[in-house]
Every structure is written in C-alpha cells, then in structure tokens.
Homo-oligomer: A and B are copies of this chain.
Amino acid sequence: MIISTNKRLSKFKLLPIALSILPFTATANSNVVHDAEYYILEAQNGKVWEVEDKDLDAKLAELAEEYGTPPNIVHFMWDDQPMGAIGVPAIQQSRGYDTPNLNQMADEGMLFSRMYTEPSCTPTRAAALTGQHPIRNGMYRVGFPVEYHGISEESVTTANILSDAGYATGFFGKAHLGDIEESYMHNQGFDVAFAAIYNQVASIWNEQGESANATIGFKDSVLAPDPYHLDDTYMSDDIVLFYEGHKGQQAKEWCGVSLDCYNQFDQEAERRALEFIETNAAAKQPFYVAWWPQWVSFIPEQQKSSRQRGIVGDAYQNNLDPSAGALMDTLKKAGIEENTLVIAMADNGPMTHNPPAGLGMGEGLFRGGKGDFTEGGVRVTAQAWWPGMIEPGQTVGDIIHVTDLYTTFARLGNATENIPDDRVIDGIDQTSLLINGDTHGRRDYVHIYSGDKLGATVKKHYKMHWINTDPTAASGIGSTYYDLLNDPREQSPLLVNMVMHGNSFARMRERHEMMMQKYPNKEAGQGPAYTGMELLNPDTKEISEPLIFIE
C-alpha cells in the first residue's frame, strides 16, 4: 500500500490505485483487508497514525511488562438502549431509572456519543465477533426458534484470533447467532460457552408468558382449538434455549424451556463469567470474555424496582447494573483492573415499535429504534473502562462502529496477524481513540445496513438515506440527505445541500460496492438445528430437522 501524505491528492487518482493493489498488499501494520473508505483516510492520515502507533505500542509494551500478559478484554453487551441511556443522569431522571455502577464506570472511563451498531441483535453480535457488516457473512436476520441457520464455520471470530494468540476465551450470555452446530459459541473459537441460542422471547415461551401473549400465540398447546389447523411444527415446544459447551466437545442443553430456566440463566451466566475471570486472573492467563446478558424478561415482575416500572428500566436498574458492579469488583479484587479493557454497551437502539409504551421502551434523543437505520436504531449507549490507560471523564465525539471492537481487540491482544486476509474487515483499529482520547478516532464514516440492503451512509455528521419512499421527502433523486448536528432526528432532508455533497456520498457507495465485487458476500451456515448437542427432551429431535433435506 502506497501511503500518500499529500492531503490534496485527488481522490479520483487515488481510487484506481487503491483498488488495484488492495487485495494483494497489507497496510503498514497488518494484513487486514479494509473497506475502500478506510484507505482514503489512511492515505491522508497514515503518517500521523504511524507515529501514534509507535507510542501506543510502547505504552502497551510497558503495561505488558508490568502485568506479564497483554491486556484482558471484557465485552459486556446488553440489549436495546440508545445513546445517553447510561452515564447521563439528566436522561435517566427523565426515564425513571438509575444505574449507579454503570454510571460510575462511564465517569471513570470514556463515554462514546457515536458508537454505531447494526440495527438489531443478531447482526450486531455477528458484527462484533467477525469485524464485518453482516451482509458479508449472511448474518443480517434476527433469529427465532427454529431457524436452521447461523454463523458459519468459515467465520473467524474474535475468539478464534485471540485464542490463537494465547488468550483464554469465554462466552457467557445471549449469543443469538444461530441454532446449528457450527454456530455454537464453543465451535466459534471460545474455550467455554454458556449461551442462550435465541433472545428474550424465550421468557414468554411457556404457559405464563403465553397467557399474556395468547392473541399472538407462541404455543399451540395452550391456544383454543383451531379447526383450520394443519401443521404442528409451525410452532413447537420442543426447542432448545440454552446450552453449555467446551471447545472440541459436544454441547449440552441446559435447564430446559421454562420461565424458571429463563430466570436462572442470567444469574448462572454471571456466576460463570466472574469465575472464569477469577480463575484466569489467578493463573496470570490473559483472557477475552464476551459477557452478553439478556436480563429483560417480557413477563413483567409484579413488584417494581424502578420509578419507570417498565420492564426495561426495571431490568437494567435491578439486574444489569449490579452485574456491572460485580464485574468491576471482581477485576479490582483480582488486581487486574488496570490491565483489563471493559467495553460496556447496548447492541442496538431501543425497541420502539412495540406498544404499549408502558414497557419502558421508547425513543431517546434520536428518531427510531431497533430495526431502523435512523440514528435511533444504531447509535447506542457505550463506554470503555480501563483505569490507568483511559483518561477518566471523557465524552468523545468520534465515530466508532461495533466492528471496530474486532480489530481493536486484535491489536491489543497481539492478534492482528491472525485476522484472515481473504475477506473485507469493516472494523478499524481504534486503540488510539481509547488511549489518546477524543478526536483520535480513525473512522469518519459508517455504512448502515437494513437487512441485506444498504439503508444509509454516514460521513462526518452528514447522512444519506439510500432508502426513502416518502413521496414528500425530496427523494425524487433516489435518496435523502441530513445534517445530524442540526437535525439529529433526521426529519428535514436538505435538497440544496445535497447538491454539494451528493456525489461524495455516491462515490463512497460505488467504492464500497466495488470492494464487494472483489470480495463477494458469503452465505450464513444452514442445516439441521441442535446437532452436536446432548438434548434434555427427546422430542426436540423432530423439530431440529428441516425435513425437506432428510433422505
């Protein structure tokens, strides 16, 4: 890769050069194949980054010397909270809940004002573990039982690359990345896994839940007889919600399908996650933990714990926040808090499409929520905590994307060389942002996918909606353009301004798609569900097989 330091270098000249050599050369520091936009930035900023990187390497080496290991990494991720939901008392007062532990973590660390995710659970989780927009590996659909689908064995996850670099790797919580054998977390690079296959819907997959949801109807068994009924397999009780497993071994179903099991799951995940941390800390073994609690039950508790008394406020105040406190306590007790990076964040924006609003779901500062490609869908609460390395009390304005965790964790774990070079990695190494602070991010853009369609692209604080079918939204030329600082709710498309910026956005998209042609998108894994697993319920076998495929 030829790095030009000439900021005035014509982008029209740069583009063909970059595209022709990208697949065959590495950047200065790695073999990673980035998306096209990154090379535009690197060509302009690479020399500065190189200098920064040397300083960062020295800092990390110093820390490694002190602790005898590279830093531990904890990725603590939960569901559905917008930017500002954590660490901002004015917003929490307005929503009626309080998270003192997470707020303390934010105060002692770095609060991100522009952490972008994918628009929903499964895509974000896949993005975090693969460093790729899920369009590239087929993981852009939200999984529900039974799906015969999941993250493929060709995936090279954070757990894979950190394992190969000598890390102990543990997964605890909601995976939501498929129900086929290859998708189990211990088959995706984790040494140990204790995982929920699907999502919070599990909490209503039982008779108590059904009573509240019968008009939708999850379970035929408790519904009134339907004389038009032909298919018993459309909905089935004989599913698997939880499993445990070790790398190279068969999985075991855990507990079963009941509200009791659901309610015990997060506590058990917490117990195992903290034990995993303690054990590895004691052994001076560097570790990577993905602890992704689900906590929000769709069956409201009778006794409320938050002023909001919605299931969201209650669950986060009463359950999530103490978990975050226990995490910090455990790290401090083990004496490794200054050698451990904690990223705490939500996986997408708030649920806003499920009335009644009385569930604590609702928009934050931005328009839209989970599932949407407006900022409300993808701009989440997120923070980094690493005492001694991250300067406390920062609220940073840099753009960061959930895929950046992949490349950043790789950098911190000396595992960048383990990143595969046969695919585009959307993630960018953001170590400099973490350690050097505000304005040291290396990304000024984000592509936002809505399923398998490109929904929008952000550059700086401008945003192009590629999809807009509102006949009054000035989208006659195919897209609408917004200024996020002046119109954070994306309500007033700017037509005149688009005249100036439209082609810059069009070029970004062309480059992005040209890279996709060079590195074609892959499919997710497909097959029978629940193979490679010891099942508690013998009837599960029936639903697990997509009969069409059976000989």
Closest to A497 in B: B358
Kindly state whether residue A1 has any CB partner on chain B within 8 Å: no
- The prevalent SS among residues of A at the interface is loop
Interface residues of A in 82-102 (CB under 8 A from B): 83-84, 87-91, 93-96
Kindly state whether residue A489 has any CB partner on chain B within 8 Å: yes
Kindly state whether residue A491 has any CB partner on chain B within 8 Å: yes
A484–B497 Cα gap in the complex (Å)? 36
Q: Which of A96, A113, A363, A485 has the most CB of B within 10 A?
A: A485
Kindly state whether residue A355 has any CB partner on chain B within 8 Å: yes
Kindly state whether residue A138 has any CB partner on chain B within 8 Å: no
Instruction: Count A-side interface residues using an 8 Å CB cutoff.
Output: 45
Min CB distance A350 to B, Å, is 11
A396–B484 Cα gap in the complex (Å)? 29
Interface contact A362-B90, CB-CB below 8 Å: no
- A497 contact set on B, CB distance < 8 A: 358
Q: A90-B87, A94-B488 are in contact. Are A494 and B363 (CB under 8 A)?
A: no
Min CB distance A1 to B, Å, is 31
Kindly state whether residue A214 has any CB partner on chain B within 8 Å: no
Min CB distance A294 to B, Å, is 21
Closest to A359 in B: B486
A93: which of B96, B113, B310 is its contact (CB, 8 Å)?
B113
- A461 contact set on B, CB distance < 8 A: 96, 307
A91–B113 Cα gap in the complex (Å)? 8
Q: Which of A95, A111, A355, A487 has the most CB of B within 10 A?
A: A487
Min CB distance A355 to B, Å, is 6
Interface contact A93-B483, CB-CB below 8 Å: no
Min CB distance A309 to B, Å, is 8
A542–B329 Cα gap in the complex (Å)? 76
Kindly state whether residue A360 has any CB partner on chain B within 8 Å: yes
- A89 contact set on B, CB distance < 8 A: 111, 113, 395
Interface contact B487-A357, CB-CB below 8 Å: yes
Interface contact B358-A494, CB-CB below 8 Å: yes
- A83 contact set on B, CB distance < 8 A: 90, 94
- A113 contact set on B, CB distance < 8 A: 89-90, 93-94
**Chain A 246-263 per-residue mask, 1 if CB under 8 angstroms from chain B, else 0:** 000000000000000000
**Chain A 139-152 per-residue mask, 1 if CB under 8 angstroms from chain B, else 0:** 00000000000000
Kindly state whether residue A502 has any CB partner on chain B within 8 Å: no
Q: A483-B358, A486-B358, A489-B363 are in contact. Are A90 and B94 (CB under 8 A)?
A: no
A357–B496 Cα gap in the complex (Å)? 13
Kindly state whether residue A233 has any CB partner on chain B within 8 Å: no
Interface contact A95-B356, CB-CB below 8 Å: no
Q: A96-B461, A310-B485, A485-B96 are in contact. Are A492 and B91 (CB under 8 A)?
A: no
A414–B11 Cα gap in the complex (Å)? 70
A440–B208 Cα gap in the complex (Å)? 41
Min CB distance A495 to B, Å, is 10
Min CB distance A300 to B, Å, is 12
Closest to A395 in B: B89
Kindly state whether residue A313 has any CB partner on chain B within 8 Å: yes
Interface contact A91-B486, CB-CB below 8 Å: no
Interface contact B95-A485, CB-CB below 8 Å: yes
- A95 contact set on B, CB distance < 8 A: 485, 488
Closest to A84 in B: B90
Kindly state whether residue A170 has any CB partner on chain B within 8 Å: no
- 8 further A-B contacts with Cβ under 8 Å, apart from A83-B90, A84-B90, A89-B395, are A84-B91, A90-B113, A91-B365, A93-B397, A95-B485, A355-B492, A359-B486, A363-B489
A residues within 8 Å of B by Cβ? 83-84, 87-91, 93-96, 111, 113-114, 307-310, 313, 355-365, 395-397, 461, 483-489, 491-492, 494, 497
By Cβ-Cβ distance, the 10 closest A-B pairs, closest first, are A357-B487, A96-B485, A89-B395, A93-B113, A357-B492, A93-B397, A308-B485, A310-B486, A358-B486, A357-B486
A-B contact pairs, 5 of them (CB 8 A): A93-B114, A93-B395, A310-B485, A357-B491, A358-B486
